[in-house]
Chain A
Amino acid sequence: MNLSAYLAIIFGSIFVNNFVLARFLGLCPFVGVSKKTDEAVGMGMAVIFVMTLASAATWCIYHFVLLPGEQTGQNILSFVIGNRVSLVPILKNVSYILVIATLVQLVEIAMRKMSPGLYRALGIYLPLITTNCAVMGVALLNTTDAPRHFNFLEATVQGFSAGIGFLLAMLLMSAIRERLALSEVPESLRGLPVAFICAAMMALSFLGFAGILGTG
């Protein structure tokens, strides 16, 4: 695999297809936890962490459990039942939720034991991310097989850089909102409305990246 493919994945998921500003995933924490910069950074770090792990774990589930025998109908289950059952369309979403939720729980437990410092920094954000759609989104996008089948490293890199993109969006938004909190905003726009307007303008400016990597 050549390096430029990885660079395209990294640049693509940070800027061109930024999860928050271009794909509109993970908007709940983007609006909810972006009032203060340090909280936004904490949340962003936790998202990077979980996205990377979730990408790796769900790719393994997809590649080794769901996908084998998809074409021929001879997958793991068909040995038990004896009939052709296609696993991918039915089980993909629901098994990913299971995997991500379990993984986050496991990481939380392990982190609490092994690195209390990291647990204190990220601990409160981890349960919030368990059911985050950005995490689910990156897992599903890693395994769509369109335009091509990602290998393990590509999927993990995409997960990691999608997290970086999320952190970037959170950081920009929190900086804007910290500034907004001190400025005089018309009363009817105060709080969330003006934050939404800012988010929309940020998304517009990120539209400038569109097309850099072609339509892929």
Chain B
Amino acid sequence: MEINVIIGPVIALAALGIAFGVGLAIASAKLKVSRDPRLEEIIELLPGVNCGACGYSGCEAMAAALVKGEVDPSSCALIAPDAAKRAAEIAGTGLGQKTKKAAVVLCRAEGVADNFDYFGIGDCAAAALSQGGPTACRYACIGLGTCASVCPFDAITMGDDGLPKVDIDKCVACGKCVAACPRGIIILAPTNRYIHVLCSSRDKGALVRKLCKAGCIACKLCEKACKFDAIKVEDNIAKIDYEKCTLCGACVEACPRGIIRDIREEETRPTAAAAAAAEQVNSKE
């Protein structure tokens, strides 16, 4: 009797366990999802940080697209050159041409007054929601550093002037800061196009003049100066077409507000690559 109290449940449980085990084994054999063996290899080669800069939801999704031949490895901002070559071999796609992009903050907010002192949550999105934001200019950088805090690569730091500084070497153009900025003043631009209009204000010229020393007043002098039809004033703001821009610098000289600038000459830390390129340009002259 006593021994049966042990044996009985053991038998019952063993029977249940065996039944379930066999059931699971059959199920896993019947419902097997076959995976492309190349997929695993390519996942190994991709950086695995799931930054999303390629436009897919993560490295695994990108690898799946690679295997299908929808993209080539150059879409990945972080992949090392030899890993890209291997991935292209495995997937049978071309290597692709890669234009490195980086984030650019289109605002220099010089002398922008505050409408009020903001003491709320230390986050630009929250600040932008209270009374339209503390800055007098509706398009100005709020300077609480939300872009810096969302950057997974530590490429953005907040400078002493309260504006974000982008380290071009670290930036992989994943676009997290672009999405996070409530003012929408961060764009992704090719790093070999270093002349930018450093203002995002769509206010009328007279108002901009009152609010900020470094605001675009839409005077269209840059548009006239450009020989390549690459700069256009729309919605009270000058915009550069980076495909057409030849970096001639005519607009930089023409701008009466001094806001069309070569960002390599900004007080941001000049990167090694940019400094070398600048030297080359100088020596040619």
- The chain A residues found within 8 Å of chain B, CB to CB, are 76-78, 80-81, 83, 85, 87, 90-91, 94-95, 98-99, 102, 105-106, 109-110, 112-114, 182-183
Report the separation of the CA atoms of residues A99 and B15 in the bound assembly, to the nearest whole angstrom. Answer: 12
Q: Are B33 and A112 in contact (CB under 8 A)?
A: yes
* Contact for A85 among B4, B23, B28, B33, CB less than 8 A: B4
* Contact for B20 among A83, A98, A109, A182, CB less than 8 A: A98
Once A87-B12, A95-B16 are accepted as A-B contacts, the answer to whether A113 and B24 lie under 8 Å apart by CB is no
Secondary structure at the A interface, as helix, strand, loop or mixed, is: helix
- The chain B residues found within 8 Å of chain A, CB to CB, are 1, 4-5, 7-9, 11-13, 16-17, 20, 23-24, 27-28, 31-33, 121-123, 126
A-B complex: 7 closest residue pairs judged by Cβ atoms:
A85-B8, A113-B31, A102-B20, A182-B121, A83-B4, A90-B9, A77-B8
CB nearest to B21 among chain A residues:
A102
Once A98-B20, A102-B20, A182-B126 are accepted as A-B contacts, the answer to whether A110 and B9 lie under 8 Å apart by CB is no
Q: Are B121 and A87 in contact (CB under 8 A)?
A: no
CB nearest to A90 among chain B residues:
B9
Secondary structure at the B interface, as helix, strand, loop or mixed, is: helix
Smallest distance from the beta carbon of B3 to chain A beta carbons, Å?
9
Report the separation of the CA atoms of residues A112 and B32 in the bound assembly, to the nearest whole angstrom. Answer: 9
CB nearest to A83 among chain B residues:
B4
* Contact for B9 among A85, A106, A112, CB less than 8 A: A85
Q: Chain B contacts of A112 at CB under 8 A? A: 31, 33
Smallest distance from the beta carbon of A137 to chain B beta carbons, Å?
21
Q: Chain B contacts of A110 at CB under 8 A? A: 27, 31
Report the separation of the CA atoms of residues A182 and B8 in the bound assembly, to the nearest whole angstrom. Answer: 58
CB nearest to A82 among chain B residues:
B4
Q: Are B16 and A98 in contact (CB under 8 A)?
A: yes
Report the separation of the CA atoms of residues A110 and B28 in the bound assembly, to the nearest whole angstrom. Answer: 8
23 sampled A-B residue pairs with Cβ under 8 A: A77-B8, A77-B11, A81-B8, A83-B1, A87-B8, A87-B9, A90-B5, A90-B9, A91-B9, A91-B12, A95-B12, A95-B16, A98-B13, A98-B17, A102-B24, A106-B23, A109-B24, A109-B28, A110-B31, A112-B31, A113-B33, A114-B31, A182-B122
Q: Chain B contacts of A78 at CB under 8 A? A: 8
Q: Chain A contacts of B4 at CB under 8 A? A: 81, 83, 85
* Contact for A91 among B1, B13, B31, CB less than 8 A: B13
Report the separation of the CA atoms of residues A210 and B31 in the bound assembly, to the nearest whole angstrom. Answer: 46
Smallest distance from the beta carbon of B166 to chain A beta carbons, Å?
24
Report the separation of the CA atoms of residues A28 and B31 in the bound assembly, to the nearest whole angstrom. Answer: 31
Smallest distance from the beta carbon of A37 to chain B beta carbons, Å?
15
Once A77-B11, A80-B11, A110-B27 are accepted as A-B contacts, the answer to whether A85 and B16 lie under 8 Å apart by CB is no
CB nearest to B20 among chain A residues:
A102
Q: Chain B contacts of A114 at CB under 8 A? A: 31
Q: Are B9 and A182 in contact (CB under 8 A)?
A: no
Smallest distance from the beta carbon of B194 to chain A beta carbons, Å?
35
Once A109-B31, A182-B123 are accepted as A-B contacts, the answer to whether A94 and B13 lie under 8 Å apart by CB is yes
Report the separation of the CA atoms of residues A83 and B9 in the bound assembly, to the nearest whole angstrom. Answer: 12
Q: Which interface residue of B23, B27, B32 has the most chain A CB atoms within 10 A?
A: B27
Q: Chain B contacts of A85 at CB under 8 A? A: 4-5, 8-9
Q: Chain B contacts of A94 at CB under 8 A? A: 13
Report the separation of the CA atoms of residues A114 and B5 in the bound assembly, to the nearest whole angstrom. Answer: 43
Q: Are B27 and A109 in contact (CB under 8 A)?
A: yes
Q: Are B12 and A77 in contact (CB under 8 A)?
A: yes
Besides A90-B9, A91-B12, A182-B123, 9 new A-B residue pairs in contact (Cβ under 8 A), listed by A number? A77-B11, A81-B8, A85-B5, A87-B8, A99-B20, A102-B20, A109-B24, A113-B31, A113-B32
Once A81-B8, A91-B12 are accepted as A-B contacts, the answer to whether A106 and B24 lie under 8 Å apart by CB is yes
CB nearest to A106 among chain B residues:
B27
Q: Are B7 and A102 in contact (CB under 8 A)?
A: no
Q: Which interface residue of A99, A106, A114 has the most chain B CB atoms within 10 A?
A: A106
Report the separation of the CA atoms of residues A76 and B7 in the bound assembly, to the nearest whole angstrom. Answer: 14
Q: Chain A contacts of B13 at CB under 8 A? A: 91, 94-95, 98
Smallest distance from the beta carbon of A71 to chain B beta carbons, Å?
17
Smallest distance from the beta carbon of B126 to chain A beta carbons, Å?
7
Smallest distance from the beta carbon of A36 to chain B beta carbons, Å?
13
Report the separation of the CA atoms of residues A106 and B20 in the bound assembly, to the nearest whole angstrom. Answer: 10
Q: Chain A contacts of B122 at CB under 8 A? A: 182
Q: Chain B contacts of A183 at CB under 8 A? A: 121
Smallest distance from the beta carbon of B216 to chain A beta carbons, Å?
32
